[in-house]
């Protein structure tokens, strides 16, 4: 039996199990009892700079107020309090030492600057302004860096747990996981700089959530690549730390029509272990001619908290291009997510990847993550 079939069957069994018995955030934080993505991030759908509570949550390991500074206000709106401007600033630096081989020769050793971002959020009553700037390398060998903003949006809290946002943001599709290179993210247009301008409604309740976004594309790409469409992601909380979600996306551009969907789930296996899985499918249909492309990608992660600040995990990923002679990739990785200090995270990982018509490759890396 191929690795792909094993992975698909595992995901199907997971979803069926979940539907037979509440997690919206990365499982390693959900299991610490921190709530959903919006509990620790300014964005209700997760990602980006953590908010004050997200930093204070590190007190479980490092002590109270261990990561707070003079410009880390709590931006939550309190109707009983006087109206005042609140500011929460942050920084995020990610470096990746990398070494490996692809069968034809060595890769590295090299140091890749994955992200260098500064920014934050400011709030006045129910209104929040969020944004960050980063150094982005332009395309081409030897190309310089340029200053860019991956996310910036204006949000309004309609009521507790209901927010409306407008601006540039990551679309709410599938699992919001840290590794943007996983096939369920990268191959579906949710890579490092794949954000879209749009209008989003975020509804978060104790037992369910809904994220809905009407988007008009990146607006910095060529006109024929500007996608306009809608994405919906409802999430059902099943209790005991388990949850299941569904994403549906439909879009159009001058070049093609796109439809995509994802089914994902999270399941606690014990007090210190968890399972995370996703199956995603998309279809592209060219408007000029009869060219078509269908992609299916699967992802599974099993994690174990060896310590309160250390998550040891095994990840499996597979992707197939169904209309391109069965081109596929399969990845297996073993890693550790270790929060050494409140401001520093070490993520060493070794992975192997098999690719159709290309040599297999083995990579060893250790992400260095500095966050404030």
Do the beta carbons of residue 183 and residue 318 sit within 8 Å? yes
pLDDT for 57 equals 72
Is pLDDT larger for residue 168 or for residue 19? 168
Summarised one tens digit per residue, pLDDT across range 90-136 is 999 999 999 998 877 788 888 888 888 999 999 999 999 999 999 88
Number of C-beta neighbours around residue 121 at 10 A: 24
Domains, the chain, ordered by start: 3-371 (2.40.160.10)
Residue whose C-alpha is closest to residue 277's, from 182, 341, 151: 182
Q: What is the C-alpha to C-alpha distance for residues 137 and 145, in angstroms, rounded to an integer?
A: 4
Summarised one tens digit per residue, pLDDT across range 255-296 is 899 999 999 998 889 888 999 999 999 999 998 888 899 999
Summarised one tens digit per residue, pLDDT across range 290-336 is 889 999 999 999 999 898 888 999 999 999 998 767 789 999 999 99
Strands (E), the chain: 85-101, 106-124, 127-137, 145-148, 152-159, 162-169, 196-204, 208-217, 228-239, 242-252, 256-268, 273-286, 292-307, 310-321, 327-341, 344-355, 358-371
Residue whose C-alpha is closest to residue 20's, from 244, 205, 279, 174: 244
Region of poorest pLDDT, from 129-133, 190-194, 195-199, 297-301? 190-194
pLDDT for 20 equals 35
Mean confidence (pLDDT) of the chain: 84
pLDDT for 9 equals 45
Q: Would the pLDDT of 343 be above 50?
A: yes
């Amino acid at each position: 039996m191929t690795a792909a079939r094993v992975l698909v069957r595992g995901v199907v069994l997971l979803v069926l199990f979940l539907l037979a018995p509440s997690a919206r955030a990365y499982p390693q934080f959900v299991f610490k009892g921190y709530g959903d993505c919006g509990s620790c991030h300014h964005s209700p759908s997760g990602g980006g700079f953590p908010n004050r509570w997200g930093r204070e949550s590190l007190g479980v390991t490092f002590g109270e107020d261990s990561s707070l500074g003079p410009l880390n206000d709590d931006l939550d709106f309190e109707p009983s309090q006087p109206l005042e401007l609140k500011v929460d600033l942050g920084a995020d630096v990610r470096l990746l030492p990398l070494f490996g081989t692809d069968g034809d020769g060595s890769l590295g050793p090299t140091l890749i600057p994955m992200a260098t971002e500064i920014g934050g959020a400011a709030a006045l009553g129910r209104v929040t302004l969020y944004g960050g700037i980063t150094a982005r390398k332009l395309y081409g060998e030897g190309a310089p860096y340029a200053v860019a903003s991956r996310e910036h949006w204006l949000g309004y809290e309609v009521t507790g747990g209901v927010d409306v946002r407008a601006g540039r943001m990551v679309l709410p599709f599938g699992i919001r996981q840290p590794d943007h290179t996983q096939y369920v993210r990268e191959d579906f247009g949710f890579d490092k700089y794949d954000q879209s301008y749009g209008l989003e409604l975020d509804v978060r309740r104790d037992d369910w959530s809904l994220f809905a976004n009407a988007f008009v594309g990146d607006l910095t790409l060529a006109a024929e690549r500007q996608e306009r469409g809608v994405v919906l992601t409802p999430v059902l909380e099943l209790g005991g730390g388990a949850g299941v979600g569904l994403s549906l996306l439909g879009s159009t551009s001058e070049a093609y029509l796109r439809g995509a969907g994802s089914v994902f789930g999270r399941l606690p296996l014990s007090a210190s272990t968890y399972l995370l899985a996703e199956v995603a499918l998309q279809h592209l249909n060219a408007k000029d001619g009869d060219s078509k492309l269908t992609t299916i990608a699967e992802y599974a992660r099993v994690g174990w908290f060896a310590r309160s600040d250390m998550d040891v995990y095994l990840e499996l990923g597979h992707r197939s291009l169904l209309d391109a002679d069965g081109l596929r990739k399969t990845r297996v990785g073993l890693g550790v997510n270790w929060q050494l200090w409140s401001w520093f995270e070490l993520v060493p990982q070794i992975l192997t990847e098999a690719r159709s018509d290309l040599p297999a490759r083995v990579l060893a890396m250790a992400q260095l993550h500095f966050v404030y």
